[in-house]
Structure 1
């Protein structure tokens, strides 16, 4: 795969159920009924910012999520129920799942992900040598080798991290 710029985005606590306090879980999605899971909201701002990022990355955007079979089914149903693909421009086939957070590194390597938004520092540790532009989403800032995105409005900065020369290897100015 060539090194065109590609964005990876976590689902839980980034696209859905975001901005919870550290340690809080989205109980409606994870533990509630299927109907409650479908009715649960997207993270504030995702529909305002993500479509522009999908466009800026020329459609090369993937959801990369860690979950089991039950939550995978709920996630796919939620994406359809909320017309996520239509509202964001993300391709229906650009959704990947794994069982362990560290396995996101394999997806990032295979897809050539150059920019990744995730709320878990252990994911960023796993992808640190693979993904040059790493964004820690949520209320808690991280170490200097990840860029903190407290919310989706702050994610607009990702556009600045897409080098104008699209095929040049990515090197973040802040890592």
Structure 2
């Protein structure tokens, strides 16, 4: 039995505020006022690329984010404030949170995630063996078992890893 492809995407430094140099935090979102957090920008290119990926996955996409309660509240408010669901096609209920990065593995297993975009190598280590297609987002590359995507334009390559005919508009591109 074939598994329908499912996309997981991290929020911080992937959808919002990144990519930043390793070790840098988005202080406006994390430490600023609620209003500053809402006003902070999406990552360049996310609205140009992510909607097509969500469509290619037939809408089977989730945000899987590690954060505490305060940042969870800000994240959900930011998604609404920026009309994220309508702009990307992500179903409103497809947002998951956990308190530790390694707990993303629980969500990935439960949701059957087949492709995951995250900026943290420790997350990829935790989900390796659970998620077949791993994408390390941001300026720093990683080991050979994770595919480096430095920005959203480069993330278009994810379409190549969707099995032909398995997504809504999935097409294989030549490399």
TM range (shorter): over 0.9
Helix, strand or coil: the match of 1:134? strand
Matches for 1:1-175 after TM superposition, within 5 Å: 3-166=3-166
Give 3-state SS (helix, strand or coil) of 1:80's partner: helix
CA-to-aligned-CA distance 1:94-142 (integer Å, 9 cap, x gap): 0000000000000000000000000000000000010000000000000
The 3-state SS of whatever aligns with 2:14 is coil
- 1-side partners of 2:3 and 2:113: how far apart? 8
Q: Distance in 2 between the 1:129 and 1:68 partners? A: 26
CA RMSD of aligned residues (A): 1.0
Give the Cα separation in 1 of the matches to 2:166 and 2:46: 25
Deviation of the 1:19 alpha carbon: 1.5
2:62 partner SS: strand
TM-score, normalised to structure 1, is 0.93
Normalising to structure 2: TM-score of the pair? 0.93
Number of aligned residues:
166
- Aligned with 1:131: secondary structure? coil
Counterpart Cα distance in 2 of 1:143 and 1:165: 30
